[in-house]
Amino acid sequence: MALTSFYDLMREAEKGQYAVGYFESWNLESLQAVADAAEAVRSPVLLGFSGIYLHHPQRLTRERLSVYAALGNKMCQEVSVPACLLFNESPHLEHVLEAIDLKFGIVMYSEEHAQLRERVRQVVTYAHSHGVAVEAEMTALPGVSGGLARVPEHLPLTDPELARVFVEETGIDALAVNIGQAHVHGREEVPLNLARLAEIREKVAVPLVLHGATSVRRQDLQEAVRLGIRKINVGSILKRTYFEALRAALAEIGQEYNPYEVVGSGLKDDVLTKARLALQNMVKSLMELFNSKGMTQKPAWIHQPGIPVNSFERDHLSFSFEEYGSGIPMIFSHGLGGNLTQMRELIGPLEGVRVIVYDNRGHGRTSGTGDPGKLTFACMADDMAAVLDRLRINSAVIGGESMGAGISLAFWRRHRPRVRALILSRPAWLNDPFPPNLAMQGTVGRLIGDFGREAAQERLAQSAAFIELQASHPESAQSLMRALQDPANTHLALLYGAIPASVPFQHFAELRDIDAPTLLLASHNDPFHPFEYATRLAAAIPAATLQEFPSKNENVDEHRIVFRRRMADFIATLPARTPQVK
């Protein structure tokens, strides 16, 4: 499965300097044609449907958005390339909100309305709480409804400064720009104002989107990608290609024909299959034009090949998790601002261990934060228990790094019969809220809230505290900056503000009751994870063993190697037993 977030698609497109195409579908045939094209040329892709026509007031048949969502998301899961589902250009606010509930990966509200900004902000707030991205435009392209025969003499171009303000005020994740294009549906070829695009790119930090690509000069499309366009919408040329191929195929059918063969058989005389193949070839050529062909040769940036990404519903959120290996079950939780990929890469394969890693609420591929009041260690421990419930595992080795170590302690308090052993790596919390070692994370959260992500990066990099941290502990400084720069961390300000206010336990006396074998791992020279915290926990937990391992600030590779060895040795000492199944 390669269902991934819009943020992941855009991050990789920026790295690779290509644009991801949105090739609008209208039924199963067109959806499969686009997906097949993406797999054929190894290109990431945006699948999706038109918000204009699915709910058009003059449409003759009723369309159920829930069915389209299920179809599109399943296709995104099944393809072997990164894919995300878009609900595109809907003028109906209620249907945009419905699309968010139905787990489209990105939505676009596009009504020309006096209160556009306010409504876009409303969409953004709701979407981000569900882990969904939002695209918007300041003004719609001319001819969006299809009635434009020629390009107007005077086209409204996106103003760079106004675009910057619009993005900052609404909090959108992608901006559709007007740089000379219009919806003339291939009747006329139009040039782009590439100078204006360059000016917008200087001002706007979010990915830029180009609509109306059917009528744009091919050389200008390539130059637009070079100048920073990261998503290109294509519609008219797809339907034209499909229709012309269908018309040609119908013309070949004589008076005598087998209806089962010419409609829906998938055989050589099937007119729908001929149209589908023509559409597939057109999409393949456009992907090459957008420079996205061959850009998924390294699938590890989505997930480890051979390890399926799974999900389940809890508390109106979709939690993502991975499992691999066989043997003693061990679930391991990541740190604040981290994700399951980091834990998988840290742990690696462990002989005789069934490893389970997952994304906490507000992190990674798990959709949204849900109720901010539930960003607590107690609630996140219950989330961890829900992962085990999903896998029908009654007891397991419970572990985590940093915040994950705190979650593991909270898990013991709330679900102690399910704890076979504890592994607490680099603990960052004791029993006091807002621990001083995480003060810089709090500062980052406030910077994002006050100035936005882009400006926060600049202000953090220029701060005396960060410059000092970079000089003394470079890997710690880089990890903090990486979390801030990661477009997938859309909830970082909220996470950095809310979670440090929580504590995994109330009193050290509680820890004396822990009778499960416990491994504490800690490093000197680690400012966010003080060695003292581990020593205090080890002194309080009767069955604890404290082992030191190299700091990331000294040697990242040695840090990982020794971590794996310490963990493997500890698990090998655990008494063998068959885990119970719930």
Is-contact 198 183, C-beta < 8 A? no
Are 43 and 13 contained in the same domain? yes
Q: Looking at 57-71, 290-304, 396-410, 548-562, which range is the least confident one?
A: 290-304
Do 230 and 318 lie in one domain? The reply is: no
Say if residue 408 is exposed, middle or buried (CB neighbours under 10 Å; 0-12, 13-18, 19+).
buried
pLDDT of residue 300: 34
Q: Is the pLDDT of residue 514 over 80?
A: yes
Distance of alpha carbon 278 from alpha carbon 215, whole angstroms: 19
Q: Taking the mean position of all CA atoms in its chain, how far away is CA 204? A: 21
Category of 525 on φ-ψ map: left (φ > 0), alpha (ψ -120 to 50) or beta: left
Q: Answer yes or no: do 271 and 361 share one domain.
A: no
Which CATH number belongs to the domain containing residue 154 in this structure? 3.20.20.70
Residue 439 lies in a domain: no
298 band by pLDDT with thresholds 50, 70 and 90 = very low
Query: Over the stretch 48-107, which tens digit does the pLDDT of each residue have?
Result: 999 988 888 888 999 999 999 999 999 998 888 999 999 998 999 999 999 999 999 999
End residue of a domain, out of 298, 332, 361:
298
Mean pLDDT score across all residues of the chain: 89
Residue 292 shares a structural domain with residue 406: no
State the average pLDDT over residues 306-328. Answer: 82
Whether 293 and 361 share a structural domain? no
Give the number of other Cβ atoms within 10 Å of residue 560's Cβ: 17
Task: With a cut of 90, say whether residue 491 has pLDDT above it.
Answer: no
Is residue 494 a part of any domain in this protein?
no
Mean local confidence (pLDDT), 281-301:
81
Cα 185 to chain centroid distance, Å, stands at 32
Does some domain include residue 429? yes
Which residues form the domain of 37? 6-298
One domain, residues 254 and 372? no
Separation of alpha carbons 63 and 48, rounded Å: 14
Residue 343 in this model has a pLDDT that exceeds 90: yes
Within a domain: 176 = yes
Half-sphere exposure of 48 (CA within 13 A, CB side): 31
Residue 409: CATH number of its domain: 3.40.50.1820
Say how many domains are in the chain.
Answer: 2
- Confidence band for 156, pLDDT divided at 50, 70 and 90: confident
HSE-CB of 317 using CA atoms within 13 angstroms? 27
Same domain, 270 and 314: no
Q: Cα(295)–Cα(301) distance, rounded to whole angstroms?
A: 11
Residues 90 and 210 in one domain: yes
Tokens of 196: 């204006």
Structural element, H or E, at residue 29: helix 28-41
Residue range 304-315: average pLDDT?
68
**Cβ contact 93:123 at 8 Å:** yes
**Shared domain check, 99 and 27:** yes
Quick one: 15 and 97 in the same domain?
yes
* Residue 182: predicted pLDDT: 74
**Is the whole-model pTM more than 0.85?**
no
Q: Is residue 314 located within the same domain as residue 294?
A: no
- What is the pLDDT at residue 426? 97
CA 97: distance to chain centroid? 19
Higher-confidence position of 482 and 528 = 528
Element spanning 445, H or E:
helix 439-451
- Taking each helix axis from N to C end, the angle separating 194-203 and 160-170, rounded to the nearest 10 degrees, works out to 40
Residue ending a domain, among 277, 298, 319, is 298
Rounded (to 5) percent helix, strand, coil in the chain: 45, 15, 40
Q: Judge whether 124 and 168 are in contact, CB under 8 Å.
A: no
DSSP state letter for 140? P
Query: Tell me: the pLDDT tens digits for 544-559?
Result: 999 999 998 888 889 9
Which pLDDT value is given to residue 315? 87
Q: Please give the average per-residue pLDDT across 115-128, as a whole number.
A: 90
Asked if residue 220 lies in contact with residue 226, where contact means CB atoms within 8 angstroms, the answer is no
- The answer to whether residues 123 and 95 touch, using CB atoms and an 8 Å cutoff, is no
Cα gap 162→200, rounded to integer Å:
10
Instruction: Encode pLDDT of 11-31 as tens digits.
Output: 889 989 999 999 999 999 999
Do strands 353-358 and 328-333 pair parallel, antiparallel, or not at all (unpaired)?
parallel
Q: Which of 271, 298, 325 is the last residue of a domain?
A: 298
Answer for the pair 529, 405: CB distance below 8 angstroms, yes or no: no
**pLDDT, tens digit, 9 for 90 and up, residues 187-212:** 677 889 999 999 999 999 999 999 98
pLDDT of residue 1: 41
Residue 485 lies in a domain: no
In a domain, 468, yes or no: no
Assess if residue 198 is contained within a domain.
yes
In a domain, 63, yes or no: yes
Q: How far apart are CA 489 and CA 360, in angstroms?
A: 12
pLDDT of residue 145: 55
C-alpha–C-alpha distance, residues 467 and 442, integer Å: 17
